Amino acid sequence: MSSSAESKMVLAKTVLSTIGSVAATAMVVRTVVNEFLPPELHEYFFFGLKNIFSRFSNQLTMVIDEFDGLVNNDIYEAAEMYLGNKLSPNTRRVKISKPEKEKHINLTMERDEEVTDVYNGQKFKWVWLCRRVESRDFYNPRDLNSTQRSEVRTFELTFHKKNKDLVLNTYLPYIIREAKLQKLERRAIKIHTVDHENMYDSQSMNLDHPATFETLAMDSELKDKILKDLDRFVKRKDYYRKVGKAWKRGYLLYGPPGTGKSSLIAAMANYLSFDIYDLELTELMRNSDLRRLLVATANKSILVVEDIDCTIDLQNNLANRANDSPSNSSNQQESKVTLSGLLNFIDGLWSSCGDERIIIFTTNHIEKLDPALLRPGRMDMHIHMSYCTPCGFRLLAANYLGITENKLFKIIEELIETAMVTPAEVAEQLLKEDEIEISLNGLINFLHVKIKEKEDAMFKKVEAKLVETNEKKESDEKETEESLEEKRLPNEES
């Protein structure tokens, strides 16, 4: 055997002997630590060893937690979506899902798996870590199935120290942009309801409402006005920041029941691809819950409070606001959420904790609302959802019957202008029959009935007014006679 081969053998034996000694020493240290150190000190001991070895490493690790305080960490969510497309053939375990109504199958990392990504010729190692904790000490709103335990979820990104600026200034912004594009491609619009006991636990379902602006039975000019307002709003992020306003928009939908307020909200969500948060304020116990509720909602969303006049006793709160005395404390407790709390929810400091939000209130009785709630900056656009018009009828006929013209249209349009029927009532009549002529004639009969009911109601109202007038006249005459009688009696006595 040559001297070169012998030297290599000696070196190999030395290396193996050193590795064996280090491994044996590590096992002894581990045994000593496990047997003689309390469990509470284990983590600190191994953390200290890890910290010592890291001082000699040229690698830097960034920790990306799932939450930043009470709000979601955008970088975590972006990494979760981005890494789903970066799984390598060597990855042993992946998580797979496909929510209903979504087109794509979603792939994500399984816990403790490692993914290597290459960007600008540099390698970046990602590891997804999950640590179990007692749920009484920590609550994770995404862990809906847990009862006694929950998880703290974290991504660890490891790379060469020289690439720190590249990561912060280029790599992470690139991941966020890519994740947004992927989300837009595969997202389904959702409707959320927020649990008043766990504000950061929203239950959601896909919004499968077919309403669009093309199918809404509304005046065409009003639809164009709403569309232009929405388009202007989503394009003015820089403008809102320039003028110092929170990037939000308020809409008040008012009108009789059945005029399409809910359909308009769904059409706005479908048009903008915004999620909907259905907020039930009657379940809230105090004004501070409103702030927590607002923080729990995401950007690019529509916050809806239906029947706002029934949600909060605004008149009672207005009186309490004007006369804040101890005697009113019981009323404040009963109403739970005050008008001032609601106003702060709409345009106070907390309303700026989020971008690109639309707030919608609906009511059947706009006259019941406090003027402070209606001013621009709170409810920027008031949309009157009126009774069905001839234009609305033609759109409904096209949607439900597939026709744009018929000999009965003129009769129906004349009747609709008088009958004061809602689009929902017209749609219900068009749904009753499959035959076009039978359906239209049924609608005509319905409109005649509604007109007759309207005339009868007007007649009864006039009749009641006449009765009231006659009763008042008789009462006044009786009072006059009694007054004259009282004056006559003293004269006769004298």
What's the chain's length in residues? 494
Is there a contact between 73 and 67 (Cβ–Cβ < 8 Å)?
yes
Is there a contact between 128 and 109 (Cβ–Cβ < 8 Å)?
yes
- Chain segment 134-163, per-residue pLDDT in tens: 655 445 555 544 444 467 889 999 999 999
Joined tokens for residue 177: 């942009």
Give the three-state DSSP class for 116: strand
Cβ-count burial 194-211 (b if 16+ within 10 Å, e if not): bebeebbebeeeebebeb
Give the three-state DSSP class for 304: strand
**Given its phi and psi angles, is residue 73 left (phi above 0), alpha (psi -120 to 50 degrees) or beta?**
beta
- Chain segment 249-305, per-residue pLDDT in tens: 999 999 999 899 999 999 999 999 899 998 887 777 777 777 777 777 888 899 999
Average pLDDT estimate for 123-131: 88
- Chain segment 425-477, per-residue pLDDT in tens: 999 999 998 899 999 999 999 999 999 988 888 888 887 888 787 777 777 77
E strand or H helix at 29: helix 3-36
List 131's β-bridge partners, or say none. 152
Instruction: Kindly report the number of other CB atoms within 10 A of residue 348's CB atom.
Output: 16
Is there a contact between 384 and 256 (Cβ–Cβ < 8 Å)?
no
* pTM, full prediction: 0.63
- Chain segment 356-375, per-residue pLDDT in tens: 889 999 999 898 888 888 88
In sequence order, the 6+-apart residues with CB closer than 8 A to the CB of 84 are 106, 107, 108, 109
Q: Residue 87: is its pLDDT beyond 50?
A: yes
Q: Residue 313: is its pLDDT beyond 50?
A: yes
Which range among 90-99, 160-169, 178-187, 249-258 shows the weakest confidence by mean pLDDT? 90-99
E-strand ranges in 231-375 read 248-254, 275-278, 301-305, 357-363
Instruction: Kindly report the number of other CB atoms within 10 A of residue 299's CB atom.
Output: 13
CA distance 290 to 160: 45
CA distance 173 to 176: 5
